[in-house]
Amino acid sequence: MPANRNVLAFVMAGGEGSRLHPLTANRCKPAVPFNGKHRIVDFVLSNLVNSEIYATYLLVQYKSQSLIEHVRQSWTMARFIPQHFITVVPPQMRHGPAWFQGTADAVYQNIHLIESMQPDIVAVFGADHIYRMDVRQMIDFHVKSNAHASVATIPVDLRECDQFGIVDIDDEHRIVDFKEKPRSAKPMPGSRNQALASMGNYIFNADVLLQQLKRMHESGETDFGKHILPSMVKTHKLVAYDFATNTIPGTEPYEEHAYWRDVGTIDAYFQAHFDTLGAQPRFRMTNRHWPIYASPDQAESAQIENGVINRSVVGSGSIVDGATLDHAMLRRSVLVERGAHLEHCIIMERSRIGRGAQVRRCIIDQDNDIPPDVRIGYDLEQDRKRFHVTPSGIVVVPAGSFPARKNATSPFLAPMNEESCLGEAAPRMEVLA
């Protein structure tokens, strides 16, 4: 990217994430944990840093404390890259006593940040997707196309068009129509069953964005997908950037080309985890050429006392003591006791799975002490009486549903350091104190 191209990024991290409830009961969607030691927001922030875009404002709103703490502890890179900053910006109500009313309104309420920095280009990206992307390549396409705004796009099944912004394009990738979550859509060129969907990632010429934000505010509009982009189709040059053309160094041939997942539902979130497992996963978390940065890890190494483990992740500070793990994802400081059986499970920080417990197709949120011999995921009718169960049968056990057992001890698990786990504020489990 030419040195004289000044880029400012806004990351939209204010999503409430109601479809991810109960994982979002006490945290916003971008702060939800992912894989062994990441959070969802780490993907977009890593993509920006790897793309040499170092000026980023993270716009937050709902239940943001966990996200703010994560960014404070994990994303201080100024000592390595002096010009780098990621600044968390809550609603400042500079234009009246109102929270962000939409994605465009969130940027408008911080329009002074654009005016003071005077960038050439503004990137507006979502914070709740799992993917790798070289944003420089999209910016280069934007500039070569002489576009006023560019929209990153991917093909989606026509049956899913009501979940995305859908664009129609001409032969030169110019957007001729933009509809936000339409009930139906016509197929994209060259396909009978797919439409071209917006990924929620936009590149704007800064002067054009400033004009549109001011016009939007005067007309009472609030959202990029619902208002600004559809209205710009007739007055400006909008182009669709084909995400499939984006190339990332270090990607292995067996990985899914142009992998991108919107993990806005429990089912999608659950499945994306297992896309990262195996010797040849669809999405490989480890790529030294394009790392997804994680929070600092001060916990001890994981310890496997004995057991049977098949295609699983065991986070730092975790102990497996004579248990069976089959497609299990353990985050940090998890104890799985003798005889327990985990099958297609995600177990979050500071949780204990008791002796002989059997857990299947389940997400156990942090700070849970699952009693011995409990069965979860085998009788969904009973599970629905206690927990959240998705239509596909994934059971979600909310944080702290099972308090720590009194007087229970383990010779294997070291005292817990809650800060090193970067979890949400919660009482330490007595058994681990």
**Residue range 72-84: mean pLDDT, rounded:** 73
Q: Is residue 277 part of a domain?
A: no
Q: Are residues 312 and 175 in the same domain?
A: no
Is the confidence at residue 269, as pLDDT, over 70?
Answer: yes
Q: Is 294 exposed, middle or buried (0-12, 13-18, 19+ CB in 10 A)?
A: middle
CATH number at residue 63: 3.90.550.10
Q: Is residue 140 part of a domain?
A: yes
Q: Is residue 61 part of a domain?
A: yes
Query: d(Cα 19, Cα 178) in Å, to the nearest integer?
Result: 25
Q: Higher model confidence: residue 64 or residue 2?
A: 64
The binding site for alpha-D-glucose 1-phosphate comprises 165, 180-181, 198
Q: Are residues 186 and 307 in the same domain?
A: no
Q: Are residues 231 and 332 in the same domain?
A: no
For helices 41-50 and 65-74, the axis angle rounded to 10 degrees is 40
Q: Are residues 332 and 195 in the same domain?
A: no
Q: Is residue 388 part of a domain?
A: yes
Query: What mean pLDDT value characterizes the chain?
Result: 89
Domain stops at, among 262, 283, 313: 262
Q: Is residue 280 part of a domain?
A: no
Q: Are residues 255 and 380 in the same domain?
A: no
* Total domains, the chain: 2
Query: d(Cα 284, Cα 276) in Å, to the nearest integer?
Result: 5
CATH number at residue 423: 2.160.10.10
What confidence score (pLDDT) does residue 219 get? 87
Q: Are residues 216 and 315 in the same domain?
A: no
Range of the domain at 354: 303-432
Q: Are residues 225 and 312 in the same domain?
A: no
Contacts of 24 (CB under 8 A, 6+ apart): 16, 17, 18, 32, 63
Q: Are residues 232 and 327 in the same domain?
A: no
Q: DSSP assignment of 43-105, as one string?
A: HHHHHHHHTT--EEEEEE-TT-HHHHHHHHHH---TTTSTT-EEEEE----TTSS----SHHH
pLDDT in tens, 280-330: 999 999 999 999 998 777 778 899 999 999 999 999 999 999 999 999 999
Model confidence at 15, pLDDT cuts 50, 70, 90, reads: confident
Is the confidence at residue 431, as pLDDT, over 50?
Answer: no
Q: Are residues 216 and 325 in the same domain?
A: no
Model confidence at 362, pLDDT cuts 50, 70, 90, reads: very high
pLDDT in tens, 96-118: 556 677 889 899 989 999 999 99
The binding site comprises 165, 180-181, 198
Rg (CA), the chain: 23
Q: Is residue 274 part of a domain?
A: no
Give residue 289's Cα distance to chain centre.
Answer: 20
What confidence score (pLDDT) does residue 91 get? 74
Domain stops at, among 231, 262, 293: 262
Task: Kindly report the pTM of this predicted structure.
Answer: 0.91
Q: Are residues 66 and 198 in the same domain?
A: yes
Is the confidence at residue 422, as pLDDT, over 50?
Answer: no
Model confidence at 427, pLDDT cuts 50, 70, 90, reads: very low
Nearest to 335 by CA among 386, 372, 389, 298: 372
Domain stops at, among 262, 293, 316: 262
Give residue 53's Cα distance to chain centre.
Answer: 19
Query: d(Cα 35, Cα 133) in Å, to the nearest integer?
Result: 19
Q: Is residue 290 part of a domain?
A: no
Is the confidence at residue 429, as pLDDT, over 70?
Answer: no
User: In the beta sheet, which residues pair with residue 126?
Assistant: 12
What confidence score (pLDDT) does residue 83 get? 73
Q: Are residues 26 and 129 in the same domain?
A: yes
- Calculate the dihedral angle through the C-alpha atoms of 124, 127, 129, 134, rounding to the nearest 10 degrees: 50
Nearest to 142 by CA among 133, 151, 134: 151
Model confidence at 205, pLDDT cuts 50, 70, 90, reads: very high
Identify residue 294 by its one-letter amino acid code.
A
Q: Is residue 291 part of a domain?
A: no
pLDDT in tens, 251-265: 999 999 999 999 999
Nearest to 333 by CA among 347, 316, 356, 353: 316
How many residues appear in the chain?
433
Q: Are residues 249 and 307 in the same domain?
A: no
What confidence score (pLDDT) does residue 93 get? 59
